[in-house]
Amino acid sequence: MNIALVGNPNSGKTTLFNELTGSNQSVGNWPGVTVEKKIGKAKFNQKTYQIIDLPGIYSLSTMSVDEVITREYVEKGDVDVIINIVDASNLERNLFLTMQLLEIQRPMIIALNMMDVLDQKGVKVDIEMLSKFLHVPIVPIVASKSKGIKECLQAAVLQANHKPELIDFYSDKTKGLIERIQSSLTTETSCTYASAIRFIEEGPEVAIGCDVEVVKIAELNEWVEQQFNNATLDRDMLIADEKYNYITSILKGALIKTKEETETISDKIDKILTHKIFAIPIFLTVMYLVFFMAFGPVGGFIKEYFEAGIEWIILQIANGLIWMNVSEVVFSLVVDGMLGGVGAVLSFLPEISILFLMLSLLENSGYMARAAFIMDRMFRRFGLSGRSFIPMLMGFGCSVPALMATRTLENEKERRLTMFIIPFMSCGAKFPVYAIFAAAFFSNNQANVVFSIYVIGIVIAILSGIILKKFINKGKVTNFIMELPQYRLPTIKNLFIHTWERVKGFVINAGTVILLAMIVIWVLQSFNFQLQLVEDSGDSIFGVIGQSIAFIFAPLGFGEWRAAMSLIVGFVAKEAVVGTLGVLYGVGEGVLESPELLAQPLRNVFTPLSAYSFMIFTLLYLPCVAAFAAMKREMNSWKWTFLAVGYQTGVAWLVAFIVYQVGSLIVG
Ligand code: GDP
Ligand code: MG
């Protein structure tokens, strides 16, 4: 006899499996996929039963591999009885899967696990009542203390030949839909009750196996579609909604509080931080505080000394070179090229460190998980899944790991869509660009200006998601239920390690890739095509190329070859934009007189408006080569990769154009 274990992740499935089978297990894979398949043998009353551990899932209705495996196996596999393991301390969420399993109408029992946790919470379950409501036997167990295991197995064996009776809870409208679908699709191979429901939720693909003409299926789908015209709930939400309503109503009867449930501190905090109305303003405030810390009094204070330090070092080296009487070319290479470029990048280390520190704090404290949760609620309204938001949040650090993190999205289209918009989440390397322009043009409003750039990035990402969804991912939004970890006070050590990991990357990059790029750029902007030193860098190789492409950026307010070339170099690494500006606008001997590294030369070329437009273009345009490579790897298609970076660059140009042109009209 085959017994399948099905349940939510963390419901105690593995624990129960081990209790039932002891050491008698074997592990393999489900055919064709890398999802683990565990099979064990349980002995009871001199009989042996085969236990199959299925992947942990929250629902049966979505597209992930785990869910497909479970659904297929439960519906068509060689199963005599299902043990649905349910975490009693999370009944509402767990019972959703239970309700779906029941609709498949295979023999089943519920193993109600974590009864000890429920006791601690001071809650009792009226098991008899719950069992009556759900039409299946329920056995209370504590898997981790091997309580109730035998009873559970016994109940499962007894139930093996009993199909559960359907629960009558859907609204009349829904029942009407199900009946009509089921009768329309039933020919020789009958359409099951569960498939009819899924037809409402997921559309005509469900009926493919039903042996009915395609035209008829399409007609039926059309009809279902019509029933939802002007309805409050979409067809994919209706079923879930009614299931949840039923669950809520039965839990009202079956759960009894024996003592007032003590709210944990986490619960209390969450009541506020994930509040329906306050959550988004709080999230924005938190993000704002992050930037305020980086630019406000704290960051400003550190930065002042740090910058002075860098300038002092450059000055000493410059003086040393003068004392050594090195040739002008060498002086220029070292001071303009190497020190100017790398120094310009490194001078943002204080702000970057604070930014990374604050992000680590948000991650380690558990707030980032809430942010994803809050965003999920908002995304859903736009038809996007909040699942995408975790990789997107990672994008604030660096796009490369963020792109890799999309692997957790099992729906290929959703994944592609997410990769399209990840680079809009401003990565740490773009930050020096904002910082340098904010300092030069908006010195009284630095935090506000940089904050606005980040917000624009998020808004563009969401808008893009909505628009692209129409082209890339027309399917439905996959379910996303995430567990919110308890809030924790992060340890200093942890924060430090996290921050350092990221800052280290930034410093190493500055010392290697950026340094190299800066030397190359110095050469290209010092020599002409005949390899002769030029007086005016406008005549150099770089200058000539730059001048020929600068017109592209003219409508954006910065049709100047140096600005244009710095953006091109930005493809190497985003920090290189600032480095290139440093080299091209020549810190050079200027550093001996003016302590302000780049601000003054920039003010000669940009206006505050064109500076803002430049920042926006930097925010949105194609990612660096490392991210590009990661995108190619993850999308596994040149076509999609080029479409993505083309889209990003197009959006960048368009938004910067609008900002500059509209801004010009307003400013006059
Ligand atoms: P799975 O993800 O469904 O396989 O869940 P696991 O079997 O890995 O269990 C998740 C966690 O819950 C583990 O830390 C278990 O020790 C714990 N756990 C399992 N059953 C019980 C139980 O009945 N009571 C308590 N308190 N903890 C349990
Ligand atoms: Mg497990």
* Cβ neighbours of residue 514 closer than 8 Å, sequence gap 6 or more: 341, 342, 345, 573, 575, 576, 579
CB 70 within 8 Å of CB 60: yes
| Among the ranges given (449-463, 474-488, 571-585), the one the predictor scored with the smallest mean pLDDT | 474-488
What confidence category does residue 275 fall into, taking pLDDT thresholds of 50, 70 and 90? confident
Angle between helices 515-526 and 561-569 (to 10 degrees): 150
Distance CA 160, CA 263 (A): 41
What confidence category does residue 564 fall into, taking pLDDT thresholds of 50, 70 and 90? very high
Distance CA 503, CA 62 (A): 39
Closest CA to 93 of 403, 433, 482: 482
Residue closest by Cα to atom 28 of ligand 1:
144
Q: Is residue 550 pLDDT above 90, yes or no?
A: yes
Closest CA to 586 of 535, 623, 632: 535
Which residues are paired to 401 by β-bridges?
none
Encoded amino acid at 616, one letter: I
pLDDT at 108: 97
Residue with tokens 């199959």: 52
Closest CA to 13 of 34, 38, 32: 38
Which residues are paired to 87 by β-bridges?
113
Distance CA 447, CA 195 (A): 54
Six-digit token string for 622: 């194609």
pLDDT at 477: 56
Q: What is the pLDDT of residues 643-666, one digit of tens each?
A: 999 999 999 999 999 999 999 999
pLDDT at 593: 44
pLDDT at 597: 63
11 within ligand 1 shell (Cβ under 6 A) = yes
Distance CA 303, CA 422 (A): 29
Q: Which ligand sits nearest to residue 146's alpha carbon?
A: 1
CB 624 within 8 Å of CB 429: yes
Encoded amino acid at 20, one letter: L
Q: What is the pLDDT of residues 105-133, one digit of tens each?
A: 999 999 999 998 888 878 899 999 999 99
142 within ligand 1 shell (Cβ under 6 A) = yes
Residue that wins the pLDDT comparison between 196 and 35: 196
143 within ligand 1 shell (Cβ under 6 A) = yes
Residue closest by Cα to atom 13 of ligand 1:
12
Closest CA to 146 of 121, 119, 115, 123: 115
CB 438 within 8 Å of CB 450: yes
Q: What is the pLDDT of residues 479-537, one digit of tens each?
A: 555 567 668 788 888 788 878 877 887 788 778 888 888 888 888 888 999 988 888 88
Average pLDDT over every residue of 427-440: 88
Q: Is residue 220 pLDDT above 60, yes or no?
A: yes
Closest CA to 477 of 59, 47, 148, 124: 59
Give the count of beta carbons closer than 10 Å to the beta carbon of residue 600: 12
CB 109 within 8 Å of CB 84: yes
pLDDT at 251: 92
Centre of ligand 1 to C-alpha 147, Å, is 13
Distance CA 650, CA 240 (A): 39
3-class DSSP state for residue 536? coil
Six-digit token string for 617: 């273009």
378 within ligand 1 shell (Cβ under 6 A) = no
Closest CA to 437 of 566, 567, 607, 588: 607
Centre of ligand 2 to C-alpha 106, Å, is 23
What confidence category does residue 332 fall into, taking pLDDT thresholds of 50, 70 and 90? confident
Closest CA to 157 of 42, 1, 12: 1
Q: Is residue 228 pLDDT above 80, yes or no?
A: yes
Q: Which ligand sits nearest to residue 6's alpha carbon?
A: 1
pLDDT at 214: 78
13 within ligand 1 shell (Cβ under 6 A) = yes
Average per-residue pLDDT for the chain: 85
pLDDT at 638: 92
* Cβ neighbours of residue 559 closer than 8 Å, sequence gap 6 or more: 550, 551, 552, 553
pLDDT at 480: 55
Residue that wins the pLDDT comparison between 3 and 501: 3
C-alpha count within 13 angstroms, C-beta hemisphere, residue 451: 18
10 within ligand 1 shell (Cβ under 6 A) = yes
Six-digit token string for 182: 């089921």
12 within ligand 1 shell (Cβ under 6 A) = yes
* Cβ neighbours of residue 668 closer than 8 Å, sequence gap 6 or more: none
What confidence category does residue 592 fall into, taking pLDDT thresholds of 50, 70 and 90? very low
Distance CA 376, CA 364 (A): 20
Centre of ligand 1 to C-alpha 13, Å, is 7
147 within ligand 1 shell (Cβ under 6 A) = no
What confidence category does residue 210 fall into, taking pLDDT thresholds of 50, 70 and 90? low
pLDDT at 99: 95
Q: Which ligand sits nearest to residue 140's alpha carbon?
A: 1
Encoded amino acid at 525, one letter: Q
> What are the DSSP E strand ranges found in 524-609?
none
Q: Is residue 456 pLDDT above 50, yes or no?
A: yes
Strands 2-7 and 36-44, how do they pair? unpaired
Average pLDDT over every residue of 88-111: 93
9 within ligand 1 shell (Cβ under 6 A) = yes
Encoded amino acid at 490, one letter: P
116 within ligand 1 shell (Cβ under 6 A) = yes
Closest CA to 480 of 601, 395, 407, 389: 389
Six-digit token string for 657: 């154009």
pLDDT at 580: 85
Distance CA 401, CA 445 (A): 32
Q: Measured from the CA of 18, which atom of ligand 1 is nearest?
A: 7
CB 361 within 8 Å of CB 598: no
Q: Which ligand sits nearest to residue 87's alpha carbon?
A: 1
Q: Measured from the CA of 8, which atom of ligand 1 is nearest?
A: 3
Q: Measured from the CA of 53, which atom of ligand 1 is nearest?
A: 4
90 within ligand 1 shell (Cβ under 6 A) = no
Q: What is the pLDDT of residues 336-392, one digit of tens each?
A: 778 877 887 787 788 778 888 888 888 788 887 788 788 777 777 666 676 677 788
Q: Which ligand sits nearest to residue 148's alpha carbon?
A: 1
| Among the ranges given (185-194, 518-527, 585-594), the one the predictor scored with the smallest mean pLDDT | 585-594
84 within ligand 1 shell (Cβ under 6 A) = no
Residue closest by Cα to atom 9 of ligand 1:
12
Q: Is 105 exposed, middle or buried (0-12, 13-18, 19+ CB in 10 A)?
A: middle
